[in-house]
Structures are given as structure tokens and as C-alpha cells.
């Protein structure tokens, strides 16, 4: 069962980390741009 947990866990963790990375990049870019509507 450990392998099963590992499989589910890896999927969740990787996707979550990737999402955070994308969101962080978005935030950094938005700050770097002059105040526009986005």
C-alpha cells in the first residue's frame, strides 16, 4: 500500500508545487508591470 500512497502523494505534491510556482511567477510579473488592468 505504501506504493499506492506514494503514487497518490507524488501526484498531489507535484501538481501543488507547480501551481504555486506558476502563481508566484504571475504575481512577480504583475508587480513588474506598470499599473494596468492586469
Beta carbon of residue 3, minimum distance to other proteins (angstroms, whole number): 5
HSE-up of residue 24 (Cα within 13 Å, Cβ side): 6
Residues 6+ apart with CB under 8 A from 38: 30
CB of 6 to other proteins, least distance (A): 5
Which residues of this chain interact with other proteins, rule CB under 8 A?
1, 3-8, 10-12, 14-15, 18-19, 22-23, 25-26, 29-30, 32-34, 36, 38
* DSSP classification of residue 38: -
State the minimum distance, in angstroms, from the CB of residue 16 to other proteins: 10
Amino acid at each position: 500500500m505504501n506504493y499506492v500512497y506514494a503514487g497518490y502523494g507524488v501526484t498531489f505534491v507535484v501538481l501543488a508545487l507547480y501551481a504555486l510556482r506558476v502563481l508566484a511567477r504571475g504575481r512577480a510579473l504583475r508587480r513588474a508591470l506598470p499599473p494596468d488592468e492586469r
